[in-house]
Amino acid sequence: MLDRVSALGNVVTKRTFQVFNPSTGELLAELPDMGIEETQAAIERAYVAQAGWAALTARERSDALWRWHQLIVTHTDDLAAVLTAEMGKPFAEAKSEVSHAAAYLKWYAEEANRIYGETISAPSTDRRMLVIKQPIGVVGAITPWNFPASMVARKISPALAAGCTIVLKPAEQTPLVAGAMFALAHQAGLPEGVVNLIYASEGDAVGRELCSNPKVRKVSFTGSTEVGRQLMRQCSDQIKKVSLELGGNAPFIVFDDADVDAAVDGAIQAKFRNAGQTCVSANRIYVQAGVHDEFADKLTERVRTLVVGDGFDPDVSIGPLIDTRALTKIQGHITDALEKGGVIRCGGRQVGGGGTFFQPTVLTGITGNMLLAQEETFGPLAPIIRFEDPEQVVRQANDTIYGLAAYFYASSLKRVWRVAEALEYGMVGINTGRMSSEAAPFGGMKQSGIGREGSRHGLEDYLEMKYLCMGGM
């Protein structure tokens, strides 16, 4: 039984929680269940270490990130195996995610050397006016279960590049790959206290401490909009900076001038990757009447070929849902749709044999009053909505409190520009179903979040801008 974590030094807790494989129900690990006391100790360690980490040259921080990147690349298969065991996604997808995590570390190892200030033309000859950028300080980060490796890297790498230190709580369902990545960070030579890991079965106490402790200067969270609202309220007393990447309700629009085969390929990527358990997953598939039947037939045919099962089986393309609550939600959405006139084209049932497996499903006859058109399903369910009016479908796509990601397929350049500009989303995939990249800003509008991760813009969220006015020159 584990009763301590090296990242927290001598902090010991006798409380524990268990981590299970969602495919088999197998017990994978028993971990220390940390709370406020352990979080306070981790924050103190990060606070003490931050000044020394920030004092290093940009090149020294870059070199440390580069060494961590190389270790993750070397151990890709091992990390992917841990990820598949605790989260369930197919091993090939897990390897892709680990590679994506490594790409963030590489990107910000390079960006660490590109933190620039500026000079401003002064209004008088005896002054000099400058702007410099400095690390914000200790960062509290909370990551989700659906991408437990890449989300860790996406939050930590820009913070470290900027000169910040980190206290991170991974999701209780998938903490093991984060622990393995932190072990590699220590092997890479990151100084003691720069990265600190909190294992906890419940996030409330840890989240409250990260939000209320004045030594934490910023909180970064990826998860549900409901929890994001709560964390934002808790940070408000200290006017603490937050980055929030929250829920989505992504539209996927296929216009009648689209390449239907390409649109089907894109829908498979945008809907069924990670069993539909992504925040940018296509949740509402709008198809114009002229190509509706062709698209629905071809998508159904493709979805029937998807194999559900244990992620370690090389033939499997759809792994389990994360837990029984996810099963209940997808079943509820299907039941509601059928009661209101929806039609199952394929799938629609839980897969037996143990585990939280669900058949990839296509529904037609979908209308806006159904739950699956209003809520994020977070599962392998593709609801197809027929539309006639191109302008009306954009209004329908925007008719949500969310604004994270959207997708559409069209050939007309005029339509491409007009629709791309009209969609109220932070990210828009045009004739593609997959757009995530460490080089691009990831984040949403409206109640899908605040701030951006990835790209050069992601570094800015961990920096304070300071204006210097020098007189008597």
Q: What's the CA angle centered on 46, arms 42 and 51, to 5 degrees?
A: 165
Residues 6+ apart with CB under 8 A from 51: none
Burial of 236 (0-12, 13-18, 19+ CB in 10 A): exposed
DSSP 397-408: HH-SSEESEEEE
- φ/ψ region of 60 (left if φ > 0, alpha if ψ in -120 to 50, else beta) reads alpha
279 in active site: yes
* C-alpha distances out from residue 325 to 151, 242, 276, 322, 344, Å: 22, 28, 15, 8, 22
Residues 6+ apart with CB under 8 A from 196: 7, 8, 42, 43, 45, 46, 165, 166, 167, 168
Nearest to 301 by CA among 230, 360, 357: 360
Quickly tell me which residue has 């909180």 as its tokens.
219
Backbone CA torsion sign across 151, 157, 162, 164? positive
Burial of 311 (0-12, 13-18, 19+ CB in 10 A): buried
One of 279, 376, 438, 453 is an active-site residue; which one?
279
Q: What's the CA angle centered on 154, arms 148 and 160, to 5 degrees?
A: 120
30 in active site: no
One of 245, 376, 438, 453 is an active-site residue; which one?
245
DSSP letter (8 states) at residue 229: H
CB 59, CB 40: distance < 8 Å = no
- Structure-token pair, residue 117: 């200030």
Nearest to 278 by CA among 114, 117, 97: 97
Across the beta sheet with 381-387, the strand order is 343-346, 361-364, 381-387, 282-288, 250-254, 405-409, 427-430
| Residues pairing with 406 in the sheet | 428
Which residues have a catalytic role annotated? 245, 279
